[in-house]
């Protein structure tokens, strides 16, 4: 069932329920008023008849409590019966009417006034004391029939049907108006093509729930567009980064094979250059694999207790072994007394890759190939790591882009690199929920500050 039909049906059912309740209440109250008025009139008529009959009590004699089946009487709608103290019938408009049995008379005599139904007739029974002081039981009988009540019932029924028809038409129109913005949004979504993700949804009102839905969808489109753009950039940059070393390797080998004879030293120089290019190619491939693994295994990466100071020292040794001309200076602050407070919760291989990239970048861009690493241990477990260099610094414009894959500023073009390292570091920090703050001053250097909030 479509939403428009469902809303219309629910609206009809709601209004129908309200109308039925209100009409029933009106009919019930009017019927109750009519019945009370009917019994009041019947009591007044019975009392007036009784006073007239009991004006001369000497003429009253008990009547036979049996139906006169031999005589024929016309159908009657009203009857008034008077019983004496011995519950003997002394007067009746219609002697052939069905009398009350003795048990009913005894039950009625115990109370003051009774209203009850017998078949199609309505009876009122009450006690009355005559002028002589004798007590009589007056029974008035009539058939309740209200033309006004029937007319009211017909009016309420016709009103209900007309109201339901109006509600159905109004609900259908109202549902169409309420869902019109949704239809416009659907049409706008249908017009968004995969080759043009720059289109965004528009909505007239800015304060309702649909406006919030449109804003959320537009933010989703922003992320999708960014992902597509990053994918295209990734493929383009990967192709470029892999093509450069491969082209250099091919060129060197072709040059080496161009002449029939070369000296051993020339071959050695060529192989050494090719080996450097292969190292660079291997480094790019390794970072790409790490980046892909981080994105694909975001929720399945195992975490364990990792000692922070030992991990940083291992990264230092690895970096110096690969680059003997690099220098890493360590400084420890607030070393806790308990060894357990030196641990953080994370994935050791990923943290090692992140720290190595930050140290390598610091040494690579510093003129003296030196980077400073400061570890501040906090008693509450909020450890902080600062990695600073003495390089040229990063401009405010480039600072917003350094974590994008393959991004390289114009100042860093002359330095060998792939532009993947900082993007990998940013992804690893987000997985570990480590807040990374970057502060850079041009001509002075750059500081990467890592704040650990999750401690084992």
What confidence tens digit (pLDDT) does each residue in 272-286 have?
888 877 777 776 677
Strands 304-307 and 445-451, bridge-based pairing: unpaired
Residue 124 to residue 35: CA distance in whole angstroms: 12
Q: Is 190 inside any structural domain? A: no
Q: Is 92 inside any structural domain? A: yes
Residue 203 to residue 183: CA distance in whole angstroms: 11
Residues 309 and 378 reside in one and the same domain: yes
Give me the domain span that covers residue 275.
209-296
Q: Quick check: 451 and 341 in contact, CB under 8 A?
A: no
Residue 200, pLDDT score: 76
Residues 76 and 213 reside in one and the same domain: no
Q: How many CB atoms lie within 10 A of CB 105?
A: 17
Q: Is 157 inside any structural domain? A: no
Q: Which helix (H) or strand (E) holds 339?
A: none
**pLDDT tens, the chain, 456 aa long:** 677 788 888 888 998 999 999 999 998 998 889 888 888 988 899 889 888 888 877 777 777 654 444 444 445 568 888 888 887 888 888 776 666 777 777 776 666 778 877 777 888 888 888 888 888 888 888 888 778 888 888 898 999 899 889 988 888 888 887 777 777 777 877 877 776 777 777 777 667 777 788 888 888 888 787 777 766 766 666 666 667 677 778 887 777 777 667 777 877 887 888 887 777 777 667 766 766 666 655 557 788 888 888 898 998 998 888 888 899 998 888 777 777 778 888 888 888 888 988 898 888 888 888 899 998 887 676 888 999 988 888 887 777 777 776 666 656 555 565 667 788 888 888 888 888 888 888 888 899 999 887 444
Q: Is 181 inside any structural domain? A: no
Residues 118 and 144 reside in one and the same domain: yes
Query: Based on the number of CB atoms within 10 Å of its own CB, is 121 exposed (0-12), middle (13-18) or buried (19 or more)?
Result: middle
Domains: count for the chain: 3
Residue 35 φ then ψ, to 5°:
-65, -40
Residue 141, pLDDT score: 86
Residue 21, pLDDT score: 92
Residue 102, pLDDT score: 72
Residues 12 and 144 reside in one and the same domain: yes
Measured CA to CA in angstroms, residue 104 lies from 65, 99, 101, 440 at distances of 14, 10, 5, 107
Measured CA to CA in angstroms, residue 299 lies from 180, 422, 434 at distances of 40, 21, 16
Q: How many CA atoms lie within 13 A of 212 on its CB side?
A: 3
**End position of a domain, from candidates 149, 168, 194:** 149
Residues 318 and 241 reside in one and the same domain: no
Q: Which long-range contacts (CB under 8 A, 24 or more apart) does 186-194 make?
A: 189/217, 192/221
SS3 301: coil
Q: Which is nearest to 15 in space by CA: 163, 179, 157?
A: 163
Residues 258 and 287 reside in one and the same domain: yes
**End position of a domain, from candidates 116, 133, 149:** 149
419: Cβ contacts below 8 Å, ≥ 6 apart: 237, 241, 405, 406, 407, 408
Residues 248 and 288 reside in one and the same domain: yes
Residues 337 and 273 reside in one and the same domain: no
Task: Give the CATH number for residue 246.
Answer: 1.10.287.130
Task: Give the CATH number for residue 429.
Answer: 3.30.565.10
Q: What is the distance between the terminal CA atoms of the chain, rounded to a whole angstrom?
A: 54
Q: Quick check: 212 and 206 in contact, CB under 8 A?
A: no
**Secondary structure of 53-121 in the HEC alphabet?**
HCCCHHHCCCCCCCCCCCCCCCCCCEEEEEECCCCCEEEECCCCCCCCCHHHHHHHHHCCEEEEEECCE
Quote the strand ranges of 119-271, DSSP E. 121-129, 135-142
Residue 272 to residue 278: CA distance in whole angstroms: 10
Query: Based on the number of CB atoms within 10 Å of its own CB, is 164 exposed (0-12), middle (13-18) or buried (19 or more)?
Result: middle
CA dihedral 41, 42, 47, 49 (to 10 degrees): 110
**End position of a domain, from candidates 296, 329, 355:** 296
**Is the pTM value of this prediction over 0.75?**
no
Residues 279 and 317 reside in one and the same domain: no
**Helical segments of 119-208, H only:** 147-190
Q: Is 406 inside any structural domain? A: yes
69: left (phi over 0), alpha (psi -120 to 50) or beta: alpha
Residue 411, pLDDT score: 60
Q: Is 440 inside any structural domain? A: yes
Residue 417 φ then ψ, to 5°:
175, 170
Residues 9 and 138 reside in one and the same domain: yes
Residue 66, pLDDT score: 46
Q: Is 70 inside any structural domain? A: yes
Retrieve residue 299's tokens.
Answer: 């929720």
What confidence tens digit (pLDDT) does each residue in 141-192 have?
888 877 888 888 889 899 989 988 998 888 888 888 777 777 777 787 787 7
Buried b / exposed e along 36-64 (16+ C-beta atoms within 10 A)? eebbeebbeebbebbeebbeeeeebeebe
Residue 296, pLDDT score: 59
Residue 73, pLDDT score: 46
Q: Is 198 inside any structural domain? A: no
Residues 321 and 446 reside in one and the same domain: yes
Q: How many CB atoms lie within 10 A of CB 364?
A: 18
Q: Which helix (H) or strand (E) holds 398?
A: helix 396-399
Residues 250 and 338 reside in one and the same domain: no
């Amino acid at each position: 069932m479509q939403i428009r039909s469902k809303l219309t049906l629910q609206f009809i059912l709601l209004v129908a329920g309200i109308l039925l309740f209100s009409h029933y209440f009106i009919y019930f109250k009017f019927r109750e008023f009519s019945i009370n008025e009917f019994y009041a009139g019947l009591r007044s008529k019975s009392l007036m008849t009784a006073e007239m009959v009991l004006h001369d009590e000497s003429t009253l004699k008990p009547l036979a409590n049996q139906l006169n089946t031999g005589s024929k009487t016309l159908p009657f709608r009203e009857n008034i019966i008077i019983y004496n103290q011995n519950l003997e019938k002394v007067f009746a408009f219609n002697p052939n009417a069905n009398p009350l049995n003795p048990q009913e008379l005894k039950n009625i005599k115990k109370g003051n006034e009774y209203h009850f139904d017998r078949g199609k007739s309505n009876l009122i029974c009450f006690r009355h004391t005559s002028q002589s002081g004798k007590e009589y039981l007056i029974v008035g009988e009539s058939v309740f029939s209200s033309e006004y009540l029937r007319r009211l019932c017909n009016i309420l029924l016709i009103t209900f049907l007309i109201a339901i028809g109006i509600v159905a038409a109004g609900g259908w129109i109202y549902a169409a108006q309420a869902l019109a913005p949704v239809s416009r949004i659907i049409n706008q979504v249908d017009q968004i093509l995969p080759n043009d993700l720059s289109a965004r949804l528009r909505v007239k009102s800015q304060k309702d729930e649909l406006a919030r839905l449109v804003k959320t969808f537009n933010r989703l489109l922003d992320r999708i567009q960014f992902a597509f753009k990053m994918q295209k950039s990734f493929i383009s940059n990967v192709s470029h980064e892999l093509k450069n070393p491969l082209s250099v390797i091919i060129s060197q080998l072709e040059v080496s094979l161009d002449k029939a004879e070369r000296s051993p030293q020339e071959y050695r120089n060529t192989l050494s250059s090719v080996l450097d290019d292969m190292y660079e190619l291997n480094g790019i491939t390794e970072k790409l694999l790490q980046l892909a693994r981080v994105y694909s295994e975001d929720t399945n990466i195992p975490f364990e207790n990792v000692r922070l100071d030992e991990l940083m020292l291992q990264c230092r040794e690895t970096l110096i072994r690969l680059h003997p001309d690099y220098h890493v200076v360590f400084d420890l602050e607030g070393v806790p007394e308990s060894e357990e407070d030196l641990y953080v919760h994370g994935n050791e291989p990923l943290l090692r890759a992140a720290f190595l990239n930050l140290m390598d970048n610091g040494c690579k861009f510093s003129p003296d190939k030196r980077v400073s690493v400061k570890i501040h241990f906090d008693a509450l477990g909020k450890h902080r790591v600062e990695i600073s260099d003495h390089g040229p610094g990063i401009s405010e414009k480039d600072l917003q882009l350094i974590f994008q894959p393959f991004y390289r500023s114009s100042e860093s073009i002359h330095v060998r690199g792939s532009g993947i390292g900082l993007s990998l570091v940013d992804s690893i920090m987000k997985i570990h929920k480590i807040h990374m703050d970057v502060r850079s001053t041009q001509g002075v250097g750059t500081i990467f500050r890592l704040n650990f909030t999750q401690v084992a």
